[in-house]
Amino acid sequence: MAPETKQSDTLTVGSNPPAPEAEAGCSPRFHPDPADDSAAQILERAQAGDHTAFSQLYSLHKRRVYSLCLRMVGNIAEAEDLTQEAFLQLHRKIATFRGDSAFSTWLHRLTVNVVLMHLRRKGLNLISLDEALDTSPDSGPVRSFGAQDLRLTGTIDRMTLEKAIADLPPGYRLIFMLHDIDGYEHNEIATMLDCSIGNSKSQLHKARMKLRESLSTKLNAEVLP
Amino acid sequence: MNSQPKPAVTPVEAQSAEHKEAECAEFQSHMAERIGAGENLLDDPHLTDCERCQRLVEELAAIAQAARLLLPVEEEPHEDLWEKIQRAITHESA
Ligand SMILES: [Zn+2]
């Protein structure tokens, strides 16, 4: 399951999942002493209704959940509201977690669902993603083919990429994020967004094309004053 | 054969360049729907022959790879957030 592999990608760029003890200072009201707690024990206690354990669970997973929300909505205030909603739902549902999948995968899915519900409420019609995107003025024939002789490989830095992703239309951003960053498969995305697998594949291609165009412009602007 | 100095671009070359542009535009404009239909474009004869479109495909792959490697960077929510969540939990349980 792809969100599992994401963990190793995260390791690649040098941000290890936090150890509970490193997080103790971030839970101002509770002062857990988790030195001997394994993640499994914390989870078990949180499932049994232990509030201290739940705060430890928050400390362990807050970055992943918040970062996911932030990438999906691109707005700090909304991302914090959604993080809150995700942990509230976690609190309500945690007893139902049966351990068939890894907890982090389960929580990832729960969070994605919270964000998708929010986006639907906001009026982003995920079902008719295609129509919504295909009528945009930019989706005509490819404009950038051959226009740049820019080798993108090896020249993309995180800030430029983040900016380019933030500039994507919401539907494209969502598909790109779910597939290329969070590692969901097309069949999973199709289920989540209630669209066809083909739709997910073609939208991902269009999203990458749009990113390439945007990156070419941004990287060229850096080179040429 | 005479060895006359060659102009930078001969009319034949210009014509074939134009033809090539058209071929690339045609190929690239149908990529999304063909990918959506489940085709493997790597087998397409145009792609085998065309350096420009090969580079496009490589660049799209590079973008996906960069996203996978660069972007799962985790950010910290505001430190007040846990307080808010706790209050909401208490409110719900009341
Ligand atoms: Zn071509």
Is residue A118 over pLDDT 50? yes
Instruction: Give the start-end residues of each E strand in chain B.
Output: none
A181 contacts B68? CB cut-off 8 A: yes
Specify if B23 maps to a domain: yes
Are residues A117 and A157 part of one domain?
no
Beta-carbon count within 10 A of A214 CB: 19
Q: How many domains are there within chain B?
A: 1
Are residues A162 and A116 part of one domain?
no
Are residues A178 and A115 part of one domain?
no
Are residues A158 and A111 part of one domain?
no
What DSSP state is assigned to residue A178? I
- Contact list, B71 vs chain A (CB under 8 Å): 71, 158, 161-162, 165, 181
Q: Note the pTM of the prediction, 2 decimals.
A: 0.67
The mean predicted confidence, pLDDT, of chain A is 73
Rounded to whole angstroms, the Cα distance separating A15 from A219 reads: 26
Q: Which of A10, A153, A176 sits opposite B62 (nearest CB)?
A: A153
Are residues A115 and A55 part of one domain?
yes
Specify if A29 maps to a domain: no
Specify if A164 maps to a domain: yes
Specify if A166 maps to a domain: yes
Q: Which of A146, A154, A212 sits opposite B52 (nearest CB)?
A: A146
How many CB pairs below 8 Å do chains A and B form together?
148
CATH number at residue A61: 1.10.1740.10
A77, with CB counted inside 10 A (0-12, 13-18, 19+), is exposed
Q: How many domains are there within chain A?
A: 2
Among A200, A209, A210, A220, the strongest candidate for a mutation testing the B interface, having the largest count of B CBs within 10 A, is A209
CA-based nearest distance A152→chain B, Å: 6
Mean pLDDT of B63-72: 83
User: What ipTM goes with this model?
Assistant: 0.74
Residue range A139-194, pLDDT digits in tens: 333 444 343 444 554 577 888 888 888 888 878 888 898 899 888 899 988 888 87
Is the CB of residue A111 less than 8 Å from the CB of residue A86? yes
B31 contacts A67? CB cut-off 8 A: no
Nearest residue of chain B to residue A66 (CA atoms): B77
Specify if A84 maps to a domain: yes
Helices A39-47 and A51-73, interaxial angle, to 10°? 100
CB of B35 within 8 Å of a chain A CB? The answer is: yes
- Domain coverage including residue B25: 11-72
What DSSP state is assigned to residue A95? G
**What is the length of chain A?**
225
CB of B21 within 8 Å of a chain A CB? The answer is: yes
Are residues A107 and A64 part of one domain?
yes
Rounded to whole angstroms, the Cα distance separating A124 from A137 reads: 18
CB of A181 within 8 Å of a chain B CB? The answer is: yes
Specify if B79 maps to a domain: no
Nearest residue of chain A to residue B27 (CA atoms): A142
Enter the tokens of residue A121: 């409420």
Specify if A93 maps to a domain: yes
Element spanning B85, H or E: helix B81-93
Exposed e or buried b per residue across A151-171, where buried means at least 16 C-beta atoms within 10 angstroms of its C-beta? ebeeebeeebbbebbeebbbb
Four-residue CA torsion sign, A28, A31, A35, A39: negative
CATH number at residue A208: 1.10.10.10
Is the CB of residue A115 less than 8 Å from the CB of residue A69? yes
A26, with CB counted inside 10 A (0-12, 13-18, 19+), is middle
Is the CB of residue A173 less than 8 Å from the CB of residue A193? no
Enter the tokens of residue A99: 């351990």
Mean pLDDT of B10-16: 64
B57, with CB counted inside 10 A (0-12, 13-18, 19+), is middle
Q: Which of B62, B73, B92 sits opposite A152 (nearest CB)?
A: B62
Q: Which of A15, A71, A208 sits opposite B60 (nearest CB)?
A: A208
If you measure from the C-alpha of residue B29 to the centroid of ligand 1, how many angstroms do you get, rounded to a whole number?
Answer: 11
What single letter denotes the amino acid at residue B31?
M
Distance from chain centroid for Cα B64: 8
Rounded to whole angstroms, the Cα distance separating A61 from A87 reads: 10
Residue range A48-89, pLDDT digits in tens: 999 999 999 999 999 999 998 988 887 899 999 999 999 999
Is residue A204 over pLDDT 70? yes
CA-based nearest distance B6→chain A, Å: 25
- Domain coverage including residue A106: 38-122
